[in-house]
Structure 1
Amino acid sequence: MSHPVPDTLAYLAGRWTVTRALEDLSTGATGRFLGTADIQPSDDGARALLVEDGELVWAATANRAGRTLRLLPRPDGTAEVTFADGRPFHDLDLRSGRWAVHHPCGRDRYEGVFTVVSPHEWRVRWRTVGPAKDHLQQSVYRRASGTRHAAS
């Protein structure tokens, strides 16, 4: 069951813990990412940065990992998601509580499903298929304790 969100950026704003399971379906190799995601709107509300930081364990090797994405809110409560350098990634519409998206990356294709579970949890599943990748990523974001929640 999904939880509708009238304003994507207002819902996502704040600090989240992130647990991500990763699997290379062609080799059976698995890994995990444990960390945080900080989503902070700019002072003028014109954009927000999503900054993930944590530890990635893959093939028994642990390394620091992270990423930065931009969220550009739209008046209808949706957002455009871009990479940190401004390249387009995907749209994000959580108004129904669930959103499916695809992103071509070279000859590979990323298929994503975002699901809002509650005011304090959302999930993302990415399936990547193509000549270079056959991967599955499943992430759970939980609002960090003490984080104020602007809107649900």
Structure 2
Amino acid sequence: MHIRLDQFEGEWQLDRIIEDRRNDAEGRLTGVARFERAGPLELHYAEEGELVYGQQPAMIATRRYIWRGFDGEHADKIAVEFEDGRPFHVIALDRLMPDDNHQCDPDFYHVSYDFTRWPEWEAIWRVVGPSKDYRMISRYTRP
């Protein structure tokens, strides 16, 4: 199976669990992620959902990223960037379970994607640092 950037386009149901080990708390987000075409090899990712974190009242949480594809020998990769264009990480689509790292001093982020049940997929983040220690599992399904 070979997944392409354009196959992410459209709307996805998003369910996320945050296991915060530092604060001994759990968060849950339920919402929608949308990938909108912004060019031949570019999608804009926007998510919005209701986040319940520990004992705090529910709140609306949002995130935005840019997903850029490539032509030629790197056509099996997606560069994920922050909304302002700074590099975040790379997804290697030639693997069903790609992973990558992002260093944001003093914190370290590791992501593992799982495309083995495509078109359902998930991203698992492990984040550690002086004030962070959590695992975040985001599951994406078509509505």
Q: How does 1:1-152 map to 2 (within 5 A)?
A: 4-7=1-4, 9-42=5-38, 44-60=39-55, 61-75=57-71, 76-144=75-143
The Cα RMSD (Å) is 1.3
Q: 1:73 to 1:84 in 2, by over 3 A?
A: same
Partners of 1:18 and 1:34 within 8 A in 2: yes
CA distance, structure 2, for counterparts of residue 15 and residue 77 of structure 1: 22
Given residue 123 of structure 1, which amino acid in structure 2 is its aligned partner?
E
Number of aligned residue pairs: give it.
139
CA distance, structure 1, for counterparts of residue 142 and residue 92 of structure 2: 19
The TM-score normalised by the length of structure 2 is 0.91
Shift of 1:131: 0.9
Shift of 1:101: 0.7
Q: Which runs of 5+ in 2 are unaligned?
A: none
Identity %: 32
Moved over 6 A (4+): none
Given residue 32 of structure 2, which amino acid in structure 1 is its aligned partner?
T
The TM-score normalised by the length of structure 1 is 0.86
Shift of 1:5: 2.7
Partners of 2:97 and 2:116 within 8 A in 1: no
Q: Which runs of 5+ in 1 are unaligned?
A: 145-152
